[in-house]
Amino acid sequence: MNKWTRRAFIGAGTVAGGGFLLGVAGFTFAPSRHSLVAADAAARGQLTTWITITPDNLITILIPHCEMGQGTPTALAMMAAEELEADWSLVQVQEAPAEDAYANGYIIRAVGGGYVPAVLGRGVDYSAYKLAEWFGLMVTGGSTAVRGTGEFGMRVAGAAAKDMLVAAAAEEWGVPASECTVKASRVSHAASGRSRTFGELARSAAGQSVPTSPTLKDPGTFTIRRTSLPRRDLPSKVDGSAKYAIDFTTPGMLYAAIEIAPVQGGTLLSVDTTPAESMPGVKKVIKLDEAVAVVADSFWRAREALAALKPQFSDAGHGSVSSASIFAAFDAALGAAPAVPAGAAKVITADYRVPFLAHATMEPMVCTAKVEGDHVEVWTGVQDPLNARSVAAKAIGIDVANVRLTNFLLGGGFGRRLPFTFDYVDLAVRVAKAVSPTPVKTIWTRENDIQHDYYRGAAMARHAGALDANGVPLAAHSNYTGGGNSEAVFMPYAIKDQEAEEKTATHPIRPGQWRSVLNSQHGFFKESFIDELANAAGKDPFEFRRSLLGEQPRFKAALERAAAMSGWGTPLPAGEGRGIAICESFGSIAAEVVHVAVSPEGRLKVLNVYAAVDCGDIVNPDSATAQVEGGIIFALSAALLSEITIANGRVVETNFRDYPMIHIADAPKITTAFIRSGAPLGGLGEPPVPPLAPALTNAIHAATGIRVRELPISKTPLVRA
């Protein structure tokens, strides 16, 4: 094995026309067969994030993450451009292709908290990159892009490119690099009055030594970051020119509608294909192990023909499973309430439960595939293009190198388009193989989408707490089932005796990652229970929490900020109330206050939500605010209305008529504040979700005295008996 070079993780080279290309890389022994860089650049280092500067002074920043409404590509480009001292008007942003060279190992830094000792940093980054390449990770999810790829990849790439451009200018002018300044895509030497654009320096910059540890800018000097620059994806979405997977067409393309076994694990037993085969436009009826598909010259005709069939499926032995049986198993697994120390003045117990939830993205699952011999071309929208390539290859037993995947804008993700949820890619490729070499677009109906999701897990928790005679909490114990981890179950409060134990209860409903993952369940559990402890202690819920956060200054600051924003403690009319909750997830702390009104008839109106978020720092304030607002609305729909139920082993809900979302008229006024704490960057796409449900139910209790312990809230009458 060749020895590692000392080039750290930065490589540079030239592109056609004399441009300059630079990317962050791991130590490498050979260029990847999928690398798109020029040969001389690939030989220097296997690139994962690129900055390209062409002679016309345009800068292209290639982003190894997808755009699904969250603004990540713009934010990452801003981070690179900031360090580069680029003229933002000259910056172009593109999504990286689904190639091994763009595996984004930097997200591992985000998951691990970011810090790595300097002496280990390069080796850790290399190892993470190679693992990402090996497992085919090109993931956008887990609120990792900005705090991982951005902080440890894009910033370094921008700073290194700037240093090389300065070195090229200094060499040309015969002056020390320290005398050169950089601003707005131009390097200048004040003493001699000379200056050159990045484009003019691009060719010579590519030949400079690559800095192993470029100096990053002091945050106090940022001019691009912390400004609300317009997102680059928005104009096309406004004028309708944006392309999603469902918009894709190609000559000769056919369309497929599909019916999948309604019970997870079920298989196709029989189907009479004759009724569909005689209908106009139908090309073929395809029998798969777990589904039947109709291919036709339009999706309407395919869907109409599919409706004429009466396929019979097995139930995989799960035909008796129901929501009631699942929660009964949860209840049995939880057992008796956890024991608390003897001698407490008060003992409080409470059970909480939350249902399965679907992702219900605006764009249902869709994938177009063309199978030609042992090669496949795929057009879709996913949160991990590399893993989707692997799924496509495995679907028909070919080498992943023979799969080409084009990723489009995503019409929502929320975890539904993450790895291990690519059933729609698998099915589309198998359908296309049956009519090879004709390309086929397999479109999921809303019914397909809701009834064959990877669901946010249903869960239960059984809590017990103890208070002394002064209302000070002595213990908080819980048993829970449905999944959990240390971050999700952690309570930041100074309660010395804390315990949380997972109890196992299995069911056949397939789980998936849903926005904020396990924090959405446990945020509701623990922040509802701490509110109940405050109520039992006869103390104000905000003051009770604050008194227990003396050793958690970030939590305390966020809690105080949210309370101050909401006017906590000021009188409210009868039937109105405020509730508060605070949760940490994905490296960020979010405190939220919800203000509600409940009519005498029990009609609930959410009037205001106040959110104080400490994510360390923010890149684009406008996008950051939109992320918080979006998370709150997403969580509000789930808390108020959403529920997936099971009967006879299958999902009952079929569409938005029985899996509703809130309407614009139901949306509260949202006020957001960010706390710049200096902590490592945290996520923003998911942290606003967990505090919303408990803050809302706590507000309902403040307004009515009714304690909601089960979601959705619509299941609980809000009229006093």
Q: Which of 31-45, 373-387, 512-526 has the lowest mean pLDDT?
A: 31-45
- Name the band, by pLDDT with cuts 50, 70 and 90, for residue 210: confident
The H or E element spanning position 579 is strand 576-585
Per the model's pLDDT, the better-predicted residue between 32 and 99 turns out to be: 99
Q: In the prediction, which pLDDT does 9 show?
A: 45
What stretch of H or E contains 597? strand 588-598
Place of tokens 């590509």: 73
pLDDT bucket at 36, cuts 50 / 70 / 90? very low
Q: How many helices (H) and strands (E) does the chain have?
A: 19, 27
Residues 439-480 have pLDDT tens digits of 999 999 999 999 999 999 999 999 999 999 999 999 999 999
Which one of 3.40.50.620, 3.40.50.300, 3.30.365.10, 3.30.540.10 gives the CATH number of domain 10-239? 3.30.365.10
Q: What would the pLDDT profile of 599-652 be if each residue is shown by its tens digit?
A: 999 999 999 999 999 999 999 999 999 999 999 999 999 999 999 999 999 999
Domain ranges of the chain: 10-239, 245-315+365-443, 459-715
Look up the CATH architecture of domain 459-715: 2-Layer Sandwich (3.30)
CB 245 within 8 A of CB 379: yes
Among all chains, which residue has been given the structure tokens 């209908």? Answer: 279
Pairwise CA distance, residues 22 & 10, whole Å: 7
Q: What is the mean pLDDT of the chain?
A: 91
What per-residue confidence (pLDDT) applies to 485?
86
**Mean pLDDT value across residues 588-597:** 98
Is residue 701 helix, strand or coil? helix
Q: Is the pLDDT of residue 482 over 60?
A: yes
pLDDT, position 499: 96
Domains 10-239 and 459-715 share a fold: yes
pTM for the whole thing? 0.92
Measuring CA to CA, which residue among 229, 280, 142 is closest to residue 621?
A: 229
Confirm if 41 and 109 have CB atoms less than 8 A apart: no
- Listed in sequence order, the DSSP H helices in 155-245 are 155-173, 198-205, 234-239
Q: Please tell me the predicted confidence (pLDDT) of residue 1.
A: 24
CATH fold of 245-315+365-443, please?
A: Aldehyde Oxidoreductase; domain 4 (3.30.365)
Residue 232 tokens, joined: 């680059």
Is the pLDDT at 43 greater than 70? The verdict is no
For the chain, the maximum distance between any two Cα atoms, rounded to a whole number of angstroms, is: 87
Question: pLDDT (tens digit, 9 = 90+) per residue, 537-592?
Answer: 999 999 999 999 999 999 999 999 999 999 999 999 999 999 999 999 999 999 99
Confidence class for position 12, pLDDT limits 50, 70, 90: low
Other C-beta atoms lying within 10 Å of the C-beta of residue 550:
10
C-alpha pair distances (Å), 135 with each of 109, 112, 381, 400, 414: 16, 18, 19, 12, 21
Neighbours of 571 (CB within 10 A): 6
**pLDDT tens digits, one per residue of 89-135:** 999 999 999 988 888 877 776 765 554 444 344 444 555 555 555 55
| Nearby residues of 377 by Cβ (< 8 Å), 6 or more positions away | 369, 370, 403, 404, 405, 406, 439
244, exposed or middle or buried, with CB in 10 Å at 0-12, 13-18, 19+?
middle
| CB-CB neighbours of 584 under 10 Å | 25
Query: What pLDDT shows up at residue 593?
Result: 99
Q: 166-194 burial, b if ≥16 CB within 10 A, otherwise e?
A: bbbbbeebeeeeeebebeebbbbbeeeee
The string over 292-325, giving b where at least 16 C-beta atoms fall within 10 Å of a residue's C-beta and e elsewhere, is: bbbbbeebebbbbbbebbebebebbebeebbbee
Task: For 155-197, write each residue's pLDDT tens digit.
Answer: 999 999 999 999 999 999 999 999 999 999 999 999 999 999 9
More confident residue, 552 or 209: 552
Phi-psi label, residue 471: left if phi above 0, alpha if psi -120 to 50, beta otherwise? left
Which token pair is 11? Answer: 């490589």
**pLDDT-above-70 percentage for the chain:** 90
Neighbours of 7 (CB within 10 A): 18
